[in-house]
């Protein structure tokens, strides 16, 4: 695992393949997790959260348009201004076409497919080396989850 941390900051780990589940269960579907696009965040609150993209190719149009990733958390944290409790969730992240400087929209769902929260996600044109899924530690010791150049804070 690669650790990215500093004094008093959350710990970010790009996890080895054994930590990421092979499939993630959403709305009655076992959807493969993209192990190469996974990150484990240990937040100052003590919560650990595993984020990974999922491969929805070959699933229904509803599933493809709704989900891009999964999160499994062992503690509470805040996302989109809402408290996220221990559990597992799917998430969607709608983004404008590449190069368009407009916000995206993040949506969090329970495993049955009910929307729990959503928020807009600004595009960060200055982000160095964007990747499909990335976590950056902020100066205030919170973490920021990025999907490409669009990001949201994790507290």
pTM above 0.75, yes or no: yes
- Which residues 6+ apart lie within 8 Å of 62 measured at CB? none
Question: Is residue 69 packed enough to be buried (19+ CB in 10 Å), middle (13-18) or exposed (0-12)?
Answer: buried
pLDDT tens per residue, range 22-37: 999 999 999 999 999 9
- Which residues 6+ apart lie within 8 Å of 58 measured at CB? none
Under the banding of pLDDT at 50, 70 and 90, the label for residue 2 is very low
pLDDT tens per residue, range 102-128: 999 999 999 999 999 999 999 999 998
d(C-alpha 72, C-alpha 49), whole Å? 6
- Which residues 6+ apart lie within 8 Å of 11 measured at CB? 3, 4, 5, 41, 42
Mean pLDDT of 71-87: 94
d(C-alpha 27, C-alpha 58), whole Å? 15
Q: Which range among 40-44, 59-63, 139-143 shows the weakest confidence by mean pLDDT?
A: 139-143
The per-residue pLDDT for 70 is 98
d(C-alpha 70, C-alpha 91), whole Å? 6
The domain tally of the chain equals 1
Q: Which range among 55-59, 136-140, 142-146 shows the weakest confidence by mean pLDDT?
A: 136-140
d(C-alpha 107, C-alpha 68), whole Å? 10
145, 152 Cβ separation under 8 angstroms: yes
141, 8 Cβ separation under 8 angstroms: yes
The domain in which residue 22 lies consists of: 2-154
Choice between 143 and 67, residue whose per-residue pLDDT is larger: 67
Choice between 58 and 12, residue whose per-residue pLDDT is larger: 58
Mean pLDDT of 78-98: 94
């Amino acid at each position: 695992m690669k650790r990215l941390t500093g004094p008093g900051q959350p710990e970010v780990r790009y996890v080895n393949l054994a930590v990421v589940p092979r499939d993630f269960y959403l709305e009655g579907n076992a959807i493969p997790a993209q192990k190469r696009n996974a990150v484990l965040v240990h937040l100052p609150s003590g919560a650990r959260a595993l984020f990974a993209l999922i491969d929805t190719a070959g699933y229904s149009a509803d599933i493809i348009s709704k989900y891009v990733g999964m999160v499994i958390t062992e503690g509470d944290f805040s996302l989109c201004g809402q408290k996220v409790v221990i559990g597992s969730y799917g998430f969607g992240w709608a983004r404008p076409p590449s190069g368009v400087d407009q916000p995206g929209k993040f949506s969090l769902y329970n495993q049955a497919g009910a929307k729990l929260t959503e928020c807009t996600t600004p595009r960060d044109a200055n982000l160095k080396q964007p990747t499909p899924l990335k976590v950056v530690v902020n100066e205030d010791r919170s973490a920021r989850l990025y999907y490409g150049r669009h990001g949201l804070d994790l507290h």
